[in-house]
């Protein structure tokens, strides 16, 4: 089996699951309980927070645990809107965000907020001039993803940060769900960013756990009201086993990061160099620094994405149509649509997404199967 669908989710690492199991069995007290058993859980919770903060070069009190990327994104967008509504009702984001951002923005629009979606160029990248032009006196949030989940474009985060230094009151959020561990940490944890979203299951932690970075002094209204956990900002009994597992997963991810990134880049390059030789293949992700090392999106013109996905699956290779969320809806890729890609192509795009455990041998096997399938599709479909 070859698993090339790591942007959808990753397999939890065995040592992370060991931590999860051990904590579930031995440290299962509620961190809010007053007895020793609760204290032990509380210490482990705070130790995990400290470990994550240290790995990111921030303070422990700036890390807040969530259930994952969707919650983190919803919290920053809606929490900003609630917190800052008396200062302004304008929010800026990009036309290529994950639905966790896009649909949160649309909900706010229904409530009377004004949303600007920055357009993207043919590589799926926003322009900083468009951002400058969009900022208004009533702008309260700029939210830009680090790495696009469908085609892997890296957004110009450093330049966005520079622009926003002139507007210190605007909240600056980065959705880093696809960007962590991909060699761009200094762009993400830049000196202007206020909030960053992370999701554990994208880096070998269990499902249903994540965290946000929230800069000291910045305020978000809570969305989860209740018993006052997470400094009164995110109530709910903390999932200590998953949090401890996630802290370990993050440490593992960031160990030898450069080497892992180089390996992923080499695998992507090998597939890219192969498929680019076929004249009915359109490739959207480039093997350059402006794109993440792990995502390669392309089409075989005239063949639907799901047909290709299932044909690879029959050969034991797991890939996706562009995003896991849209794949069952048979919808056009929203990123490709925003790039003004013709609909026929936007509905047939497929994505391979790598992690540090993939190998060049798997790339060679993928290429071999690709040749076979391309020939088969050519026989069935005159367009290929």
Ligand X SMILES: Cc1ncc(COP(=O)(O)O)c(C=O)c1O
Per CB under 6 A, residues contacting ligand X are 68-70, 73, 98, 100, 145, 149, 175, 177-178, 199, 201, 210
Q: Which lies closer to ligand X via its Cβ, residue 6 or residue 348? A: 6
Q: Which lies closer to ligand X via its Cβ, residue 201 or residue 268? A: 201
Q: What are the structure tokens assigned to 286, written together?
A: 């480039």
Q: Which residues contact 219 (CB under 8 A, 6 or more apart)?
A: 83
User: Pick the catalytic residue: 115, 252, 283, 325?
Assistant: 325
Closest CB 70 distance from ligand X, rounded Å: 3
State how far the Cα of 244 lies from the Cα of 50, in Å rounded to an integer.
11
With CA atoms as reference, report the closest residue to 175 among 85, 91, 93, 257: 93
Closest CB 314 distance from ligand X, rounded Å: 25
Q: Which residues contact 91 (CB under 8 A, 6 or more apart)?
A: 77, 80, 81, 105, 108, 113, 114, 115, 116, 139, 140, 141, 142, 143
C-alpha to C-alpha distances, 302 to 203, 332, 341, 350, nearest whole angstrom: 34, 14, 14, 13
Strands ordered across the beta sheet of 210-214: 63-66, 210-214, 195-199, 171-175, 139-145, 90-94, 114-118
Q: Which lies closer to ligand X via its Cβ, residue 108 or residue 212? A: 212
Q: Which lies closer to ligand X via its Cβ, residue 196 or residue 384? A: 196
CA dihedral sign of residues 119, 121, 127, 133: negative
State how far the Cα of 384 lies from the Cα of 381, in Å rounded to an integer.
6
Q: Which lies closer to ligand X via its Cβ, residue 246 or residue 384? A: 246
**In this chain, which residue has its C-beta nearest to ligand X?**
69
Q: Tell me the residue ranges of DSSP E strands in the chain.
A: 2-3, 63-66, 90-94, 114-118, 139-145, 171-175, 195-199, 210-214, 281-283, 295-300, 317-318, 320-321, 350-353
Contact 354, 111 (CB under 8 A): no
Give, to the nearest 10 degrees, the angle between helix 36-56 and helix 240-254: 30
Residue 297 is among the residues annotated as catalytic for this protein = no
Closest CB 52 distance from ligand X, rounded Å: 16
Q: What are the structure tokens assigned to 279, written together?
A: 């004249």
Strand partners, 174: 144, 196
Q: Which residues are catalytic?
A: 325
């Amino acid at each position: 089996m070859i698993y090339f669908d790591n942007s959808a989710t990753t397999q939890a690492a065995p040592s992370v699951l060991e931590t999860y199991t051990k904590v579930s069995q031995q440290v299962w007290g509620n961190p809010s309980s007053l007895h020793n058993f609760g204290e032990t859980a509380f210490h482990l919770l705070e130790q995990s927070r400290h470990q994550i903060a240290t790995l990111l070069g921030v303070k422990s009190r700036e890390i807040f645990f969530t259930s994952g990327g969707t919650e983190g994104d919803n919290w920053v967008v809606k929490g900003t809107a609630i917190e800052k509504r008396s200062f302004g009702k304008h929010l800026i984001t990009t036309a290529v965000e994950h639905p966790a951002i896009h649909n949160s923005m649309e909900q706010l629009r229904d409530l009377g907020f004004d949303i600007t979606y920055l357009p993207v160029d043919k590589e799926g990248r926003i322009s900083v001039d468009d951002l400058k032009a969009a900022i208004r006196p009533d702008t309260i949030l700029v939210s830009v993803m680090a790495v696009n989940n469908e085609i892997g474009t890296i957004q110009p985060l450093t330049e966005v940060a520079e622009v926003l230094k002139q507007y210190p009151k605007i909240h600056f959020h980065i959705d880093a769900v696809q960007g962590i561990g991909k060699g761009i940490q200094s762009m993400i944890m830049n000196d202007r960013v206020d909030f960053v979203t992370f999701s554990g299951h994208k880096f070998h932690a269990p499902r249903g756990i994540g965290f946000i970075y929230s800069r000291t002094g910045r305020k978000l209204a809570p969305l989860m009201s209740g018993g006052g956990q997470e400094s009164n900002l995110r109530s709910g009994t903390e999932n200590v086993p998953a949090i401890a597992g996630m802290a370990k997963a993050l440490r593992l991810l960031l160990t030898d990061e450069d080497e892992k990134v180089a390996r992923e880049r080499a695998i992507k390059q090998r597939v890219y160099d192969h498929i680019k030789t076929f004249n009915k293949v359109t490739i959207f992700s480039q093997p350059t620094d402006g794109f993440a090392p792990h995502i390669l999106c392309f089409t075989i013109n005239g063949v639907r994405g799901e047909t290709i996905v299932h044909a690879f699956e029959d050969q034991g290779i797991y890939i996706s149509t562009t995003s896991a969320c849209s794949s069952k809806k048979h919808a056009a890729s929203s990123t490709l649509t925003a790039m003004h890609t013709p609909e026929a192509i936007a509905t047939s795009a497929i994505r391979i997404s790598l992690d540090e455990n993939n190998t060049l041998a798997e790339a060679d096997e993928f290429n071999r199967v690709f040749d076979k399938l391309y020939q088969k599709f050519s026989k069935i479909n005159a367009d290929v």
